[in-house]
Amino acid sequence: MPYFELKKGEVGFPPAHFADLDGLLAVGGDMTASQLVRGYQSGVYYWHHPMKHVKWWSPDPRIVLETNTFSAPAMNSESVFTTSVNTRFEELLRLCQRLNNDKEAMGPAWLSERMFRIFTELFEKGRIHAQEVVCKGNLVGGFFGVCVGHMCFGEYTAETIPGAAAFALVHAVEALRDRGIEWIDMQKETARVNSLEYKEISRLSFVDYCRRAGEGDQENLNTAAL
């Protein structure tokens, strides 16, 4: 099935059910903070090679963590790590770049300076949840995602000590549940931790929930609020 081509300045996305069998819905358009949030509210996420056009995806099924039913595994790292929220976000972004930006094998996991700026803008607007993990005063891992309404869209986990990424994600689930976030989108490979179990739901259910979750969002995404 052919995909849609978005023009510069075009806002909004085609209905997610038009995505092809691999989940590719559209290519191109602008990559801005507001467009990224619109995509998430529409059940669409970006994932693309850093040197090529932006690609927007909506596969079926979708992978999520449901915070109200999530069962945290036993962890042996509680005495080793401490965690904080949104205190070392720029440092966490740089760590994600260091771990994912392989010049010999540039791929979709690459965190570009453009995305660095967009995530920083969203952080300043209160849309980022960053769960940082510290060991002996040093940042050794973390998780962060973009929050829209009652959902969080996972972006990256990182670790320089084994177990730090899982520790971050488990504590992020608890913190996000406490602030009313019900689902965490875990579609991106860069956000997942292999030791945790995830839930698959249909694209139809996911898109419907994205729409309903965003209805309570304090900003109108049809304006240039972001």
* Domain containing residue 70: 65-198
Distance CA 192, CA 149 (A): 21
Domain assignment of residue 178, yes or no = yes
Note whether residue 226 is domain-resident: no
Residue 222, domain member (yes or no): no
Distance CA 114, CA 127 (A): 17
Q: What is the pLDDT of residues 123-177, one digit of tens each?
A: 999 999 999 999 999 999 999 999 999 999 999 999 999 999 999 999 999 999 9
80/34 same-domain check: no
- The verdict on residue 209 lying in a domain is yes
Pair 187, 207 in one domain:
no
pLDDT band at 224 (very low <50, low <70, confident <90, very high): very low
Q: Tokens standing for 157?
A: 């986990």
Task: Name residue 124's amino acid.
Answer: E
- Specify whether 74 is located in the same domain as 162: yes
| Residue 177 lies inside a defined structural domain of this protein | yes
- From the CA atom positions of the chain, what is the Rg in Å? 17
In this prediction the pTM is: 0.92
92, 20: one domain: no
Same domain, 26 and 72: no
- For residue 31, is it left (φ>0), alpha (ψ between -120 and 50) or beta? beta
Report the half-sphere exposure of 4 (CA within 13 A, side-chain side): 18
Q: In whole angstroms, what is the distance from residue 48 CA to residue 23 CA?
A: 13
Q: How confident is residue 223, by pLDDT bands cut at 50, 70 and 90?
A: very low
Q: How many domains does the chain have?
A: 2
> What pLDDT score does 222 carry?
38
For the cut 50, the answer to whether the pLDDT of residue 220 exceeds it is no
State the amino acid at position 54 in one-letter form: V
Q: What is the chain's mean pLDDT, rounded?
A: 91
- Say which CATH number the domain at 136 has: 3.40.630.70
107 plus 55 within the same structural domain? no
Joined tokens for residue 70: 């999530």
Dmax (CA) for the chain in angstroms is 52
Residues 129 and 140 in one domain: yes
| 98 shares a domain with 188 | yes
CB atoms inside a 10 Å sphere around CB 9: 7
Flag whether 167 is in a domain: yes
Residue pLDDT, tens place only, 64-76 = 999 999 988 878 7
> Phi/psi class of residue 209: alpha, beta or left (left: φ > 0; alpha: ψ in -120 to 50)?
alpha
- Same domain? For 16 and 94 the reply is no
83-139 confidence digits (pLDDT tens): 999 999 999 999 999 999 998 888 999 999 999 999 999 999 999 999 999 999 999
Hey, how many other C-beta atoms are within 10 angstroms of the C-beta on 52?
A: 10
Asked whether residue 224 is domain-assigned, the answer is: no
